[in-house]
Structure 1
Amino acid sequence: MAALWRGCGRVLARRPGAAQALTAGALMGAGDVIAQQLVEQRGLRGHHCPRTLKMMAIGFCFVGPVVGNWYRILDRLIPGNTKVVAVKKMVLDQDYMDALMTNYCIWPPVQIANFYFVPLQHRLAVVQCVAIVWNCYLSWKANRM
């Protein structure tokens, strides 16, 4: 496990954008698989692969690059690693009122911890790991029949 973590760190250092895009795509795909298998209980035969691939494409093409770049911008706008800096970054990150209201119980504490404890190159992965439950919910909600 330690070797895997070190390998991920080397890839993130060399190609951060590609690594973050792959991470976001894989985790969004995992959220859809969880939604289909555990929440909707479709079973393997009822699994809708194009839907999973769509979620992965959204993560790979949009979430990874956009959110990864957003975190880099936040780091340039508000440099530092103190608790106050983490709160400032969290406040700037929560600029959509509907997202703030919907996710208020989860995202502020996650983002404060993320901006305070987690190095820049790992922040997107942390958010995507937490967001896997949210992605599962969104996938289920968007695809209710």
Structure 2
Amino acid sequence: MRCLAVALALTGTHGFMSHKLPATPMRGAATQLTMRLGNGGGGTRRGGFTGRLGAGWKKGIVPRNPGGGGGMMGGGPPRDVSRRAADDEGEEPPAPKAAEAAGLWAAYEKALEKDPLLIKGLTSMTGFAIGDILAQQFIEKKGKYNLNRTIKMASFGLLVHGTTSHWFYGKLDGKIPGTDAGAVASKVFIDQVLWNPIFGVMFFGYMGLWERQGVDGTIKRIKGDLMTQVTGSWTVWPVAHAINFKFIPTEQRVLYINTIQIFYNCFLSIIGNRDGKKKGRK
């Protein structure tokens, strides 16, 4: 039966293609032969047939009708588009994270302009607290977390580092304005040769007083740890401050410093909380 059907189909096609149609004049168009194709909706649709098959037909792709029902020739959006539209229906777009970040930054700048001393102190407090937590939990790993030590480091950032940095960098930018190479180099030199040891004295002096080591114990601590801190600073801050003095506005220097100093504070926290007996201090 299959062979008979194939033979009949071939015979019919041959007869159809070999049949010559009478030339019939049409308005501005060549002779056309219309054929009826069934659509998915059960009806029929007329389409032009000129003896050539388009690229889509050769590849077995049936073109869709822009309008109408959803059959082989029917219109409507493709299934994947319809499915995506259905899936997205009722969903809210994701929160604009960039806008939120811009809003937080704008709020920080507004607060910084209103009360720079307090905001810079809070910024330093956060940086020193995070640095100590990282040092305890991921570097030293002594087991039990020491909350008092974190409070000590955070209070130094709030009371000493933030306030003195606000004063020092404001004065430094006022005396040496500009961002040219000479100004940047001068600021880095002053920061690392003059301010760096002064900062070390303040840091270890605060640690000694917090731990009630007395004047003599605090002086011994400064003598024992100051050079370690100063030389350690030289491995990080010359490059960091070159970027700082070149690109960062004066009012945002403390925020930039504390961003870098989160990791440097791990080093400060370790040497600032070393056992004095191990170093020979009494």
TM-score normalised per structure 1: 0.90
Q: Which ranges of structure 1 fall in alignment gaps of 5 or more residues?
A: none
In the alignment, the residues of structure 1 paired with residue 264 and residue 172 of structure 2 have an alpha-carbon distance, to the nearest angstrom, of 23
Match of 2:180 among 62, 66, 82: 82
Deviations 1:60-118 (A, max 9, x none): 00000001110001011111222321111111111256455332221111111101100
In the alignment, the residues of structure 2 paired with residue 102 and residue 39 of structure 1 have an alpha-carbon distance, to the nearest angstrom, of 17
One-letter amino acid of the structure 2 residue matched with residue 143 of structure 1:
N
1:8 aligns to 2:108 (yes or no):
yes
In the alignment, the residues of structure 2 paired with residue 2 and residue 42 of structure 1 have an alpha-carbon distance, to the nearest angstrom, of 39
Q: Trace 1:1-145 onto structure 2 (pairs within 5 A).
A: 1-42=101-142, 46-94=144-192, 95=194, 96=196, 98=227, 101-144=231-274
Q: Which ranges of structure 2 fall in alignment gaps of 5 or more residues?
A: 1-100, 198-226, 276-282
Change (3 A) 1:100 1:37: closer
Of Structure 1 and Structure 2, the greater helix share is in 1
Aligned residues with identical type, % of pairs: 30
One-letter amino acid of the structure 1 residue matched with residue 154 of structure 2:
M
In the alignment, the residues of structure 2 paired with residue 89 and residue 39 of structure 1 have an alpha-carbon distance, to the nearest angstrom, of 32
* CA drift at 1:58: 0.2
In the alignment, the residues of structure 2 paired with residue 48 and residue 68 of structure 1 have an alpha-carbon distance, to the nearest angstrom, of 29
Look up the SS of the partner of 1:81 in the other structure: coil
One-letter amino acid of the structure 1 residue matched with residue 155 of structure 2:
A
Please report the RMSD computed on the Cα atoms of aligned residues, expressed in angstroms: 1.7
Of Structure 1 and Structure 2, the greater strand share is in 2
One-letter amino acid of the structure 1 residue matched with residue 153 of structure 2:
M
